[in-house]
């Protein structure tokens, strides 16, 4: 998804526009262009880093994680490119949908892209969380049963599910509707005609909320397993550092998704559930139908509120790539070294963490893909003298 326009209906040629309206329109176009440019740049940089790491890594579980992460960044990149181009096209046409889209083809494509590029990151984030949870809690099963082609099939099914939800309104002859701001298209949420108009946005929101809930549960289990391993003094286990790196990235992705997508999903669920009862009662009595129409008008979603939560959701695709740019092992090591220099030489925990990171890096570069994600060093630990001579 990309940034969308504001509430104004545009400056019409037949009516002399005010300076305030024109300035709001120019501000909306500028904000959309900046959001699109920043999103494309951020995702391109993150994709370059992930592809470089994917070609260099030799650990099987890390490669699976990088496959999903690269797919997530590619999805966000295409979302900014396609949706951002559609937004700029709508503004360049002065939002006159009746002129450039009389058959609602552009609106259908716009709405389907909004849904697909909005739901895909949530589903990919939950798939990454499940993959990492299995890799940490059941490493042998992950290495033996979950091959690379299984991960690619799971990735394809995730995209297929998002695409099915996106094209479902078109297949059911419930096309997407131009919203009141006339700058974007979405589900037909205002004045639904029947239960399908209520079910489609509810399906979208429930899938997004379930994906977020699954991510929270799996990331919590993974974090507890890693914390339990650290408390048991398993400092010589290969792969501990990259497990910590991946779980930090997953927790950041989960936090960004909850903050950005939570308001829109909650907004849609609350509104659609409030209309389910009234929509069902329409089929029984015309008197009840009139009553529900008058009640429904009081609960119609305002265009401003819906547009604000959609704008918050667009920041998810801008912040996601910076998780992989900033929360890398090299960057985390520099941050810990900076804290260590500020705290002084009396801090031994940071020095111990740095030595564990160095051990894991040396063992990862000198070993191939093993049958387990965490293989202990056993009788051959690296001495402190060797580590000091290397650093």
In the block, residue with structure tokens 């099987």: 60
Classify residue 188: in a domain, yes or no: yes
In this prediction, what percent of the chain has a pLDDT beyond 70? Answer: 68
Q: How many Cβ atoms from other residues are within 10 Å of residue 11's Cβ?
A: 15
Question: Is pLDDT above 80 for 344?
Answer: no
Distance from C-alpha of 81 to C-alpha of 35, rounded to nearest angstrom: 10
Classify residue 233: in a domain, yes or no: yes
Dump the DSSP string for 201-213. HHHHHHHHHHHHH
Distance from C-alpha of 363 to C-alpha of 239, rounded to nearest angstrom: 8
Cα distances from 44 to residues 76, 78, 79, 120, 266, in angstroms, run 10, 10, 12, 18, 31
- For the chain, the domain total comes to 1
Tokens for 220, please give them: 């919590």
Identify the CATH number of the domain in which residue 57 sits. 1.20.1070.10
pLDDT bucket at 34, cuts 50 / 70 / 90: confident
Classify residue 2: in a domain, yes or no: no
Classify residue 304: in a domain, yes or no: yes
Q: Between residues 361 and 197, which one has the greater pLDDT?
A: 197
Question: Is pLDDT above 50 for 318?
Answer: yes
Q: Domain range spanning residue 213?
A: 19-327
Question: Is pLDDT above 60 for 301?
Answer: no
Question: Is pLDDT above 90 for 140?
Answer: no
pLDDT score at 160: 97
Comparing CA positions, the residue from 50, 41, 55, 53 lying closest to residue 70 is 50
pLDDT score at 378: 40
Classify residue 250: in a domain, yes or no: yes
Compute the mean pLDDT over every residue in the chain, rounded to the nearest whole number: 76
Cα distances from 187 to residues 1, 166, 325, in angstroms, run 15, 10, 34
Classify residue 289: in a domain, yes or no: yes
Question: Is pLDDT above 80 for 167?
Answer: yes
Cα distances from 98 to residues 21, 94, 178, 282, in angstroms, run 21, 11, 11, 31
pLDDT score at 76: 93
| Strand pairing report for 177-178 and 185-186 | antiparallel
pLDDT score at 204: 95
> What are phi and psi for residue 187, nearest 5 degrees?
-60, 155
pLDDT score at 209: 95
pLDDT bucket at 111, cuts 50 / 70 / 90: very high
Question: Is pLDDT above 60 for 362?
Answer: no
Distance from C-alpha of 243 to C-alpha of 23, rounded to nearest angstrom: 49
Tokens for 118, please give them: 């909005």
Three-state SS letters, 218-264 = HHHHHHHHHHHHHHCCCCCECCHHHHHHHHHHHHHHHHHHHHHHHHH
Question: Is pLDDT above 60 for 20?
Answer: no
Classify residue 335: in a domain, yes or no: no
Distance from C-alpha of 277 to C-alpha of 295, rounded to nearest angstrom: 12
Identify whether the C-beta of residue 230 lies closer than 8 Å to the C-beta of residue 297: no
What is the mean predicted confidence (pLDDT) over 103-112? 94
- 235-238 — which CB contacts under 8 Å span 24+ positions? 235/352, 235/356, 236/359, 236/376, 236/377, 236/378, 236/381, 237/374, 237/375, 237/376, 237/377, 238/360, 238/363, 238/364, 238/367, 238/370, 238/374, 238/375, 238/376, 238/377
HSE-CB at 246 with a 13 A cutoff on CA atoms is 31
Classify residue 378: in a domain, yes or no: no
pLDDT score at 176: 93
Distance from C-alpha of 274 to C-alpha of 302, rounded to nearest angstrom: 15
In the block, residue with structure tokens 């990735």: 155
Q: What is the CA radius of gyration of the chain?
A: 25
Residue 172 DSSP one-character state: T
pLDDT score at 7: 39
Identify whether the C-beta of residue 323 lies closer than 8 Å to the C-beta of residue 332: no
In the block, residue with structure tokens 């699954």: 214
């Amino acid at each position: 998804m990309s940034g969308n326009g504001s509430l104004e209906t545009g400056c019409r040629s037949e009516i002399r526009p005010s300076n305030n309206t024109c300035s709001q329109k120019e501000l909306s176009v500028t904000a959309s262009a900046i959001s699109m440019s920043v999103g494309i740049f951020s995702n391109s940089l993150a994709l370059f880093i992930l592809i470089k790491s994917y070609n260099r890594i030799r650990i099987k579980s890390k490669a699976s994680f990088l496959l999903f992460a690269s797919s997530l960044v590619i999805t966000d990149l295409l979302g900014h490119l396609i949706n951002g181009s559609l937004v700029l096209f709508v503004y360049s046409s002065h939002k006159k949908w009746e002129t450039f889209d009389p058959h609602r083809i552009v609106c259908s494509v716009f709405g389907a892209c909004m849904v697909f590029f909005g739901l895909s990151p949530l589903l990919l984030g939950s798939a990454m969380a499940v993959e990492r949870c299995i890799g940490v809690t059941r490493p042998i099963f992950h290495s033996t049963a979950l091959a690379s082609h299984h991960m690619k099939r799971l990735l394809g099914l995730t995209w297929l599910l998002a695409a099915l939800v996106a094209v479902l309104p078109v297949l059911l002859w419930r096309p997407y509707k131009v919203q009141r701001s006339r700058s974007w298209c979405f589900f037909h949420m205002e004045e639904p005609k029947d239960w399908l108009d209520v079910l489609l946005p509810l399906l979208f929101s429930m899938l997004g909320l379930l994906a977020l809930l699954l991510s929270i549960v799996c990331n919590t289990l993974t974090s507890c397993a890693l914390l339990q391993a650290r408390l048991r003094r398993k400092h010589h286990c290969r792969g501990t550092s990259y497990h910590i790196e991946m779980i930090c990235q997953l927790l950041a992705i989960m936090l960004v998704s909850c903050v950005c997508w939570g308001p829109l999903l909650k907004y849609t669920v609350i509104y659609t559930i409030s209309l389910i009862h009234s929509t069902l009662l329409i089929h029984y009595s015309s008197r009840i139908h009139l009553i529900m129409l008058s009640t429904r008008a009081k609960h119609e979603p305002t265009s401003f509120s819906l547009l604000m939560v959609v704008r918050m959701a667009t920041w998810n695709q801008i912040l996601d790539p910076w998780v992989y740019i900033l929360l890398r092992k090299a960057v985390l090591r520099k941050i810990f070294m900076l804290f260590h220099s500020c705290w002084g030489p009396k801090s031994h925990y940071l020095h111990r963490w740095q030595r564990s990171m160095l051990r894991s890096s040396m063992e990862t570069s000198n070993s191939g893909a093993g049958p387990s994600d965490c293989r202990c060093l056993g009788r051959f630990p690296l001495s402190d003298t060797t580590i000091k001579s290397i650093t």
